Structure 1
Amino acid sequence: MSGTPALELKAICKSFGQVRALTNVDIAAFPGEAHFIVGDNGAGKSTTLKVLAGIHQPDAGELRINGVETSMRDASQAHRHGIAVVHQDLALVECLDIATNMALGAIPRKRRFILDRRRMEREATEVLSELKIRVGSVRTQIGLLSGGERQIVAIARAVRMNLPIILLDEPTAALGVRETAHVGEILDELRGQGKTVICISHDLEFVFAHADRITVMRLGNTVATCLRGATSRDEIVGMITGTITASTANAGTQ
């Protein structure tokens, strides 16, 4: 990839008390790129995503947005820097309907204290239609949806924000084959729009179908970042498990 990364981590370290979660993490994701992060449980993937999202502040290292070193104190600052996040727990409110959940954080109003319900429902319907998502009425409560439908709504909410960087934590974990394929189509469309998509996934079939580059993490460290076409599943699995060493992996890093 050439040019300036949209989002970059350099030599990131993060500890929680005596537990070192991240030791040395380097990731650079570019506009128009689907960048996947893979690794075993405990590799530090979710902690890395939370650093990118402003939820955790690193103990050392640099976070850069469009080449500018940046410090984010919380998730609201990440949003102001153009970062939307779909967490694994989805952060949806079950007692609220689809339209309201999709508008959380940017609810349209007629006046200061009056909700513009019609506009909110119209905008939610438009986004779901553009993404070819069918979840019934936008007035349906989130609590009545299946796990897969909730996942899709959470992704649609991030898309509605229309921000240049989107972070996804295991977006297909609760999905069937058809829904997983649909998420892949959405991801490809976002990449085609020039957005930067950073995605954590354990599903290597999904990764190799949609990634431009793949970063492998192990025990809180970046092992290597490879072009999808310049690596194989066996090599990625070897890096994840440690049967392929960092020096061997980096010899083929792109």
Structure 2
Amino acid sequence: MDTTAQHGIAKEEPTGPAPRLTLSGVSKSFPGVRALHNVSLSLYPGQVTALIGENGAGKSTLVKIMTGIYQPDAGTISIDGQAVTLPSAHAAFGHGVTAIHQETVLFDDLSVAENIFLGHAPRTRLGTIDWRTMRKHAREVLDTMHAGHIDADARLKDLGIANKHLVAVARAMSIDAQIVIMDEPTAALSMKEIEELFLLIEFLKEERKAILFISHKFDEIYRIADRYTVFRDGEMVGQGLIKDAGQSQIVRMMVGRSVDHIFPQRKAEIGAPVLSVSGLSHPTEFSDIGFELHEGEILGFYGLVGAGRSEVMQAISGITRISGGTITLEGKVITPKSAADSIEAGIVYVPEERGKQGVVIGLPIFQNVSLPSLKRTSKSGLLRLSDEFALARSYTERLDLRASSLSQDVGTLSGGNQQKVVLGKWLAMNPKVMILDEPTRGIDIGAKAEIYGLMRALADAGVAVLMISSDMEEVIGVSDRIAVMHEGQISGILDKEQFSQENVLLLAVGKPAN
């Protein structure tokens, strides 16, 4: 069946350059899970192809096949018209395929030059590494990319995330990689760094590289992509030129339904103050923070990178110590000295780094959900497995978690489903205040709509919600009020009738709102 035509987007006639890389009929299964079924993908020289799909659609599996980490069960991979096998990451590298991930896979304790030429360093006649030539070539590659500000002798750990991405691209350029995979490369970048990355992508296009760009951000996709391919449930359901497809069409292909209203449309019923913060200060991160959070309210916190939003929330959550100020919960002053103190009081914190701080990789889903609730699932010091399963089932069903079973390792779940596990374990604590730090980062649009609906349902049930977000559209669409931070202080709090991108940005740079 022609799934492209089925979804109402005409299949383009092959014109222009031949594809640099083609995957055809690729399938991959794991025990109990069909990750990919008969998928196809083409990447063209000098063009960006956006790979779009919900978490769990099969995008990561495809990337691992393209980079030699996984072997397909069926299908063919062709590079420049010739069928190839990629039995290892080294083999893929040798065929000119390289990947730049959200978290760069480089070595912090090596120099920039060593990272660029790792595995293919120039050699002397005696077979030893030619350090002088390596540094020289590293500087040449960086200069070619307009990244000459990076010192080839600097340790990678001393660079920011954006410059680490540049080093990863320089590594690809050093082997003359023809196929560059970018997997959520902007997730941890500031707006300025994202613009710099887009300039780099334009440079790669001019160099005739074939680029696969994976992102959940439609503004980025429509900004830089030439083509798109959509996956859903491990199958390719559409492809074509990005200029011929509207966002609503692509979303419909992604989720199998229309998502007309991604943000909840209900009118909030705001109650009495639950959390009051006054004069909250930290020696280096923030000072004189004051605000009130009400029952049934979603208070958004916005600010540019380094504004201090997460640091404030970690202090309220007992993770870091404050140097002054008071935290009042339901009229009672609390002084949390640890995260356990805040949790006991009724304040829970859902961290931004869900893979490192939110879940315990290697443990099954049910144990991740029940971990903070061991008092409820044990008796006389012994854990009761049936109670753990019952607790986990109650909250994962409420969150529509997609998993083969509750015994599945949480590390095998998609980002969106991992986030649901994190939310589930803290919902089981019946919190009074829930702090969500970048709750939808790296999550597809369908899962975002579900998370937003859950946040509104929590607020409607009387939970007071604090949400940190770097997504302007999200913070305006979800919040009942918005607190904006600038250089460690709250520069203003906006009511609903004051919401506008202009006002939020003015406060974010330290200027008064209109």
TM-score > 0.5 by shorter chain: yes
Worse-matched range after superposition: 234-243 or 39-48: 234-243
Give the aligned residue type for 1:102: I
The question of 1:214 aligning with 2:228 is answered yes
* Structure-1 residue corresponding to 2:47: 33
Q: CA deviation at 1:136?
A: 4.1
Inter-partner Cα distance in structure 2 for 1:151 and 1:82: 18
Give the aligned residue type for 1:213: R
RMSD of the alignment, in Å? 1.8
CA contact (8 A) 1:34 1:210 kept: yes
Give the aligned residue type for 2:32: Q
1:34-62 Cα offsets, whole Å, 9 max, x none, are 11101111111111111112221110122
* Structure-2 residue corresponding to 1:78: 92
Q: CA deviation at 1:210?
A: 1.0
Inter-partner Cα distance in structure 2 for 1:173 and 1:160: 25
Q: CA deviation at 1:193?
A: 2.2
* Structure-1 residue corresponding to 2:11: none
The question of 1:108 aligning with 2:122 is answered yes
Inter-partner Cα distance in structure 2 for 1:166 and 1:112: 33
Inter-partner Cα distance in structure 1 for 2:127 and 2:208: 36
1:220-252 Cα offsets, whole Å, 9 max, x none, are 1111012111012222222222216xxxxxxxx
TM-score normalised by the chain length of structure 1: 0.89
* Structure-2 residue corresponding to 1:141: 155
Give runs of aligned pairs for residues 1-254 of structure 1, distance below 5 A.
1-2=14-15, 3-133=17-147, 136-243=150-257
SS in 1 for 2:254: helix
For structure 1, the residue ranges without an aligned partner over 5 or more in a row are 245-254
CA contact (8 A) 1:5 1:30 kept: yes
Identity %: 36
Relative contact order, CA 8 A, sep 6+: which one is greater?
1
Larger Rg: 2
SS in 2 for 1:46: helix
SS in 2 for 1:50: helix
Task: Work out the number of aligned pairs and report it.
Answer: 244
Q: CA deviation at 1:135?
A: 5.1
Inter-partner Cα distance in structure 2 for 1:94 and 1:59: 35
Inter-partner Cα distance in structure 1 for 2:224 and 2:119: 29
Q: CA deviation at 1:118?
A: 1.6
Give the aligned residue type for 2:101: H
CA contact (8 A) 1:131 1:186 kept: yes
Worse-matched range after superposition: 115-124 or 127-136: 127-136
